[in-house]
A and B are shown apart, each in its own frame.
Chain A
Amino acid sequence: MILMLMLGLGWSVATGGLWAQAEEVTRERAEYRAWLEDAPNSPLAALAQRRIASRVVLGPPESDIPLPGLEPHTLEEGRLVRLTGPAGRRPLPRNRLLPLGPYRIFLSGARGRTVVTVYDSAPRPKSLSFYPYDPKLIFTAKLVPPKKSGAVRVLTVDGVEVEATEAGTFRVPLGPEGVDLRVRRIPDAGTEESELEIYFRDETNDEGTYPAGRFVSLRPMRDGRYVLDFNRARSPFCAYSSVYPCPIPWSGNAIPAAVTAGERYEGGGLEVPKPGRP
């Protein structure tokens, strides 16, 4: 009985009433805004992102990645990624924010295809806006298993290539006939966590939302079904900064209706950021 009560409490917190849902979305947006404004790895602090391929030079003006105030440094990818600079040569760990002069760098992506992202000392300001909360754009359904399972390389929200798995399709009653949206499991490096994500396009693209489309994560319910809440749709980082490549739209995920929920796009972010204090 105790367990039932406790499970019940969790249940109401997780899926609660509409009012609680709206409040939760408001809270999530505030958290996201704070992360964008403050986090050392905020996309608004990003100065450059590129695949190392074999070699990337950072520092002087003629470098691959010019960074004022930084002595010449070279990143090379063989079996490991190594950094060579005035202090010598050393291998670098992945998925960790590392100081480099006045900047920070982060290595992510698959081995052999490592991507380096360079961050400035502080994020620059950017306004963020959302459609009003719309409870009609929340859907609950089962995830239909994929016809063919398998792994696929896709760019995720931060422009980094990951090996995702096909997780199935999720049907939403939008447009004249409804649409089956492709769902992929996006792993989080170094943890057992992953997200079931949908990268979708709809008729608001370029008419209020980012032209390339938006991401939304499925939220599991206790009965095996999932919730797709378009109020939680967010732009890929390429909407904030031209540093980030935009993921290619996923085939089949074009919704023939205007999804007027979630994050809006008010332009900007397409100029190349200059290093230095914002």
Chain B
Amino acid sequence: MTGPLLAMASVLGILAGAGLEGPWRGVLDVAGGPLRFTIQIQPSDQGYDGRLCNGSSCNLLSAIVVRDDSVRFEIADYAATISAVLRGDSLVGAYRNVGNRGPRTIPFRASPGTWPVTHPPTDLTGQWEATYQYDGRTSPRIFEFRDTPGGLEGTIISNTGDYGLFWGVTEADSFAMAHFDGSFVYMLTGMLDGDTLRGVFHAGLRTQTAWTAVRSRGGPYLTPPTELTTADTTAPFAFAFPDLDGRIVSNTDERFRDKVVLVDVFGTWCPTCHDAAPLLRQLYDAYHDRGLEIVGLAYEVTGDPSIDGALVRRYREKFGLEFPLLLAGINDTELAAETLPQLNGFTAFPTSIFLGRDGKVRQVHAGFYGPATGPQHTRLVADFHATIERLLAEP
């Protein structure tokens, strides 16, 4: 659909000149205030290329369609769009995707230029143990705040992983940081109150959850990722799925015999899986000669091998992955769990399953702390290396 529209867009309107190129300060006006992000636009052969950015983390827009004084940013992965018209030098419009109880629409605006950089106070940076409170219930989260050259960055970590990179601004003891990737609309606002941090987590147009947080004491606060999912350890971990050429690859194949195997349960739709892929490549490079095999089990959106296969092939090329990637199923937690009956309590994408040389499960790591989580990520990388070293050393 985008092809002909792009062609039609050519150089028709006001925006189609040089008007759209450069950084834009984007805002979604959610009920809790302005949710800030950046749109980066560059000219390309087809018209424009664009990226949605939260601080240093960006996602590619699938298409930018310009017509006269209006523009539509398409985010195909999430069947979402941002459409806007030019008002003065600003863009005004809406972010939309299809909901089941009505349209999911959030007002959008943008003006040319970059956001001012504000640095968080040292009283804020570091790790906090947060408690969400709603309707008489509570739920734990870890907040991580960092001062970077671009200003405040951080993330939110739950029992099943992190929410990706947040970027934001601070003013005295207050802060507001956001993550908008085209699908998830998250914002964290808060204020220092002595030793306590208090604020609101905003999701979508108007969901608000109050929270309080105290400085992390360094001890465990969330359920450790290795305790969320358990596995049958009495028999070898069995899998048999087609690779991208349609050949069945199974745990009994020669290539896995007497090897330490890391089974990566992932999906190309899963941003955290993209965070994990470079580490898998590094591990493969570092340990393959010593007896490590990696196999990726892809759970994709359609279940149609021709469509899913193309997405997984692109993912393999993007990250330069040399180990087999198999089409295991569709990205529904329940359905994926059914294809891996030896796992118990499977909830997270990605999930890393470490097998010993006997093919039996030694450890299951649910979720992945991406680079946005800072020290959590460093710790996870060290843990993965240590686990592999330990398993390689087993007789």
A117–B101 Cα gap in the complex (Å)? 13
- Contact among A3, A91, A157, A158 with B338 in the assembled complex (CB-CB below 8 Å): A91
B98 pairs with A41, CB closer than 8 A:
yes
Residue of A nearest to B168 (CB): A3
A185 pairs with B134, CB closer than 8 A:
yes
B203 pairs with A192, CB closer than 8 A:
yes
- Contact among B34, B137, B170, B335 with A91 in the assembled complex (CB-CB below 8 Å): B335
- Contact among A7, A96, A145, A220 with B34 in the assembled complex (CB-CB below 8 Å): A7
A208–B207 Cα gap in the complex (Å)? 31
Nearest CB in chain B: distance from A89 CB, A: 13
Q: In terms of DSSP, what is the predominant structure of the interface of chain B?
A: strand
A167–B96 Cα gap in the complex (Å)? 27
Within 8 A of B (CB), among A168-226: 185, 188, 191-195, 217, 219-222
A193 pairs with B136, CB closer than 8 A:
no
Within 8 A of A (CB), among B20-64: 27, 29, 31-34, 36
Query: What residues on A are CB-neighbors of B209 within 8 Å?
Result: 192
A111–B334 Cα gap in the complex (Å)? 10
A40–B99 Cα gap in the complex (Å)? 10
Which of B10-18, B102-110, B246-254, B375-383 binds A?
B102-110
Which of A29-37, A53-61, A249-257 binds B?
A29-37
B203-221 vs A, Cβ < 8 Å mask (1 yes, 0 no):
1111111000000000000
- Contact among A1, A95, A149 with B100 in the assembled complex (CB-CB below 8 Å): A95
B103 pairs with A2, CB closer than 8 A:
no
B131-145 vs A, Cβ < 8 Å mask (1 yes, 0 no):
000111100000000
- Contact among A13, A39, A167, A221 with B103 in the assembled complex (CB-CB below 8 Å): A39
Given A3-B169, A149-B137, A195-B207: A106 and B100 interface contact (C-beta under 8 Å): yes
Nearest CB in chain B: distance from A99 CB, A: 10
Residue A73 at the B interface, CB < 8 A? Answer: no
B100 pairs with A158, CB closer than 8 A:
yes
Chain A, interface size category, equals 35 or more
Residue A93 at the B interface, CB < 8 A? Answer: yes
A183–B332 Cα gap in the complex (Å)? 31
B33 pairs with A193, CB closer than 8 A:
no
A1–B172 Cα gap in the complex (Å)? 9
- Contact among A4, A149, A157, A192 with B101 in the assembled complex (CB-CB below 8 Å): A157
A149 pairs with B105, CB closer than 8 A:
no
Query: What residues on A are CB-neighbors of B135 within 8 Å?
Result: 146, 149, 165-167, 185
Residue A10 at the B interface, CB < 8 A? Answer: yes
Residue B116 at the A interface, CB < 8 A? Answer: yes
A6 pairs with B169, CB closer than 8 A:
yes
A10 pairs with B98, CB closer than 8 A:
no
Residue B159 at the A interface, CB < 8 A? Answer: no
Nearest CB in chain B: distance from A184 CB, A: 9
Query: What residues on A are CB-neighbors of B330 within 8 Å?
Result: 93
Nearest CB in chain A: distance from B274 CB, A: 20
A79–B94 Cα gap in the complex (Å)? 40
Number of interface residues of B (CB under 8 A): 45
- Contact among A7, A92, A195 with B33 in the assembled complex (CB-CB below 8 Å): A7
A156–B102 Cα gap in the complex (Å)? 12
Residue B229 at the A interface, CB < 8 A? Answer: no
Residue B227 at the A interface, CB < 8 A? Answer: no
A2 pairs with B33, CB closer than 8 A:
no
A243–B170 Cα gap in the complex (Å)? 50
Query: What residues on A are CB-neighbors of B174 within 8 Å?
Result: 3
Nearest CB in chain A: distance from B147 CB, A: 16
A6–B189 Cα gap in the complex (Å)? 13
Query: What residues on A are CB-neighbors of B101 within 8 Å?
Result: 156-158, 188
Given A93-B335, A165-B137: A32 and B102 interface contact (C-beta under 8 Å): yes
Given A2-B171, A192-B207: A7 and B176 interface contact (C-beta under 8 Å): yes
Query: What residues on A are CB-neighbors of B208 within 8 Å?
Result: 220
A94 pairs with B332, CB closer than 8 A:
yes
Within 8 A of A (CB), among B86-103: 94, 96, 98-103
Residue of B nearest to A165 (CB): B135
Residue A108 at the B interface, CB < 8 A? Answer: yes
B207 pairs with A194, CB closer than 8 A:
yes
Residue B70 at the A interface, CB < 8 A? Answer: no
Residue B125 at the A interface, CB < 8 A? Answer: no
Residue A11 at the B interface, CB < 8 A? Answer: yes
A132–B205 Cα gap in the complex (Å)? 25
Query: What residues on B are CB-neighbors of A191 within 8 Å?
Result: 184, 203-204
Query: What residues on A are CB-neighbors of B148 within 8 Å?
Result: none
Residue A100 at the B interface, CB < 8 A? Answer: no
Query: What residues on B are CB-neighbors of A221 within 8 Å?
Result: 31
Residue A110 at the B interface, CB < 8 A? Answer: no
A198–B170 Cα gap in the complex (Å)? 36
Residue A14 at the B interface, CB < 8 A? Answer: yes
Within 8 A of B (CB), among A106-164: 106, 108, 111, 145-146, 149-150, 156-158
Residue of B nearest to A5 (CB): B171
Residue of B nearest to A218 (CB): B206
A192 pairs with B34, CB closer than 8 A:
no
A222–B330 Cα gap in the complex (Å)? 40
Residue A270 at the B interface, CB < 8 A? Answer: no
Within 8 A of A (CB), among B306-351: 330-332, 334-335, 338
A57–B171 Cα gap in the complex (Å)? 60
A156–B334 Cα gap in the complex (Å)? 24
Q: Please name 5 further chain A to chain B contacts, defined as beta carbons within 8 Å, in addition to the given A31-B103, A96-B332, A193-B205, sorted by A numbering.
A: A31-B96, A93-B334, A93-B335, A166-B135, A220-B206
A-B contact pairs, 14 of them (CB 8 A): A2-B169, A6-B34, A6-B36, A13-B107, A28-B105, A31-B103, A79-B338, A80-B338, A94-B334, A111-B334, A149-B135, A158-B100, A165-B137, A188-B101
Interface residues of B (CB under 8 A from A): 27, 29, 31-34, 36, 94, 96, 98-103, 105, 107, 116, 118, 134-137, 169-171, 174, 176, 184, 186, 201, 203-209, 303, 330-332, 334-335, 338
